[in-house]
Amino acid sequence: MWGEFLKRGGKLLAFFLIIMVISFLFIPSFSQKKVLVKIPKGAGSKEISFILWKNKIIPEPFLFLFLTKVLNCEDRLKAGVYEFESPNLVSVLNKLREGKVKICRITLPEGLPKWEVAELLSKKGIVDKKEFLEVVDNPECFYRNFPWLSGEKSLEGYLFPDTYYFALEDDPVKVAGDFLARFEQEILPLYRIYEKNTREKRLSLHQIVTLASIVEKEAKVNFEKPVIAGVFYNRLRRGMKLRADPTIKYALGSFSIRLYKKILDYPSAYNTYLYSGLPPGPICSPGVESIKATISPAKIGYLYFVAKGDGTHEFSNTYQDHLKAIEKYRRG
């Protein structure tokens, strides 16, 4: 009788143990909202188990450690920032083993200077702003993979505006590399066609991107970009100064600043009111339409333009007409 009781009790205990193990492995441990957890580089399975336990991702560290040993993945858990939402032990382990880190979608609009790109990435938690700008201003590490970039002193102008997907707390070198890869994919073929088909004196890629960046900041609507590019080409051919306000604003470090007459003498190589020709480099990252407009500018005789206040411009052939247009639109 006692033997039968113990036999039945043992089966019952085994059943409850199996249920307990299954619940630990496959049933969520906590009812919780989404939680972000950072697994640092070089962290071992023991450290990871305590990080997960402290963040209430797993009920206790021992079973997690035991499972990593059984599945032989103690040294295969990847670092990064992960997002968990009421996970079970198996799903947690699989996510860490496969490196399914939290991915962030980000769109870079056209016309952002490097510091605004860094700020946007930083606010999304993708990179540290200072570290990213250090990469942007020291592009030598990219020369080998992107030979067309050789000689550039900054990645300004080449952080191609588009939609990207990055991990949180990503490597700034990798992030910048993704921007360059997209630039290479979208812009380099356009420039190669321009090189092949242009018989007159061609601009270098650096010069095209520099001029396109000014067109990007001056033009508010796409249909005017070829015309504005044509105006700048006309001024360059005649040896006239470009006199582009955005170049001074770039030198001052802000495109929202309002320019006054005394600021037009600001001592910077980027000041196209003081110096003839193109500035030393791009003032923002131009989009495809600005690049296309710079490669194929409108063939017009205009030398001047003034903003109407509605996003478009009044174009003029002579300085006298330009002064009349300024008076017209400033009076409203």
pLDDT at 193 over 80: yes
Which tens digits make up the pLDDT trace of 42-55?
899 999 999 999 99
The whole-number average pLDDT for the span 87-92 is: 86
Quick check: 24 pLDDT over 80?
no
Q: In this predicted model, which residue has the larger pLDDT, 176 or 263?
A: 176
Does residue 15 carry a pLDDT above 50?
A: no
| Chain centroid to CA 314 | 34
pLDDT of amino acid 234: 97
Query: Where is pLDDT greater, at 332 or 73?
Result: 73
What is the signed CA dihedral for 193, 197, 200, 204, rounded to 10 degrees?
10
pLDDT for 276: 94
pLDDT of residue 263: 86
| Beta bridge pairs of residue 313 | 307
Distance of CA 187 to CAs 21, 183, 192, 201, 289, Å? 56, 5, 9, 20, 10
Answer yes or no: is pLDDT of 10 > 70: no
CA 125-105-56 angle, to 5 degrees, is 55
User: Is the pLDDT assigned to residue 309 strictly greater than 50?
Assistant: yes
DSSP character at residue 192: H
pLDDT at 31 over 60: no
Q: Which of 235, 249, 242 is nearest to 279 (CA)?
A: 242
Q: Which amino acid is at 103?
A: I
Average the pLDDT over 54-70 and give the result.
Answer: 88
At 304 the three-state DSSP class reads strand
Q: Note whether 272 and 197 are within 8 A (CB).
A: no
Q: Which is more confidently placed, 56 or 176?
A: 176
pLDDT at position 332: 56
Mean pLDDT of 269-276: 95
Contacts of 110 (CB under 8 A, 6+ apart): 161, 216, 285, 286, 287, 289, 290
Q: What is the pLDDT of residue 22?
A: 46
pLDDT class for 331, splitting at 50, 70, 90?
low
Is 87 strand, coil or helix? coil
Question: Among 305, 299, 331, 330, which Cα is nearest to 317's?
Answer: 305
Percent of the chain with pLDDT over 70: 90
Question: pLDDT category, 19, cuts 50, 70, 90?
Answer: very low
Distance CA 220, CA 309 (A): 11
Task: Categorize the per-residue pLDDT at 182 as very low, low, confident or very high, splitting at 50, 70 and 90.
Answer: very high
Residue 188 has pLDDT above 60, yes or no: yes
Domains of the chain: 22-98 (3.30.1490.480), 104-186 (3.30.1490), 203-301 (no CATH)
pLDDT of 274 above 90: yes
Could you give the 3-state DSSP secondary structure of residue 56?
coil
- For the cut 80, the answer to whether the pLDDT of residue 282 exceeds it is yes
What local confidence, expressed as pLDDT, does residue 32 receive? 64
Query: With 60 as the cut, is the pLDDT of residue 3 above it?
Result: no
HSE on the CB side for 199, CA within 13 Å?
0
* Mean model confidence pLDDT for the chain: 89
- Which regions of the chain does DSSP assign to beta strands (E)? 35-39, 80-84, 103-107, 163-167, 304-307, 313-316
